[in-house]
Amino acid sequence: MKSTVSTRGQVSIPAVIRKKYHIEAETELDWIEDGDRISVIPLPKDPVGAFRGAGKGRYTSANLVKDRKQERLEEEARDRKS
């Protein structure tokens, strides 16, 4: 799909994309530059609600302690290299 930028710097988002990603009026978009590419990410209206349940089953207390211990070891190894 192609869009054309207007003289005011505006772009219309194709209807198929708007429907698929639930982009409505007032939806905020995050523009990310990555080398010679630009990604546009629609941000959820309720970011906490969108994240709710994403860590279910993974983030138990034991897993958090284990992950933090691994991070600490990686940080110490990185500090030794410096």
Measured CA to CA, the distance from residue 29 to residue 44 in angstroms comes to: 9
Q: 34: domain range? A: 15-47+54-81
Q: Convert the pLDDT of each residue in 11-51 to its tens digit.
A: 999 999 999 988 999 999 999 999 999 999 998 777 666 56
Examine residue 9 and state whether it is found in any structural domain, yes or no: no
Examine residue 5 and state whether it is found in any structural domain, yes or no: no
Examine residue 22 and state whether it is found in any structural domain, yes or no: yes
Examine residue 7 and state whether it is found in any structural domain, yes or no: no
Q: Name the pTM for this structure.
A: 0.51
Domain total in the chain: 1
Q: Convert the pLDDT of each residue in 55-82 to its tens digit.
A: 666 667 787 788 889 999 999 988 888 7
CATH of the domain at 76: 2.10.260
Examine residue 23 and state whether it is found in any structural domain, yes or no: yes
- The full 3-state SS of 2-52, as one line of letters, equals CCCCCCCCCCCCCHHHHHHCCCCCCCCEEEEEECCEEEEEECCCCHHHHHC
Question: Which DSSP symbol is given to 66?
Answer: H
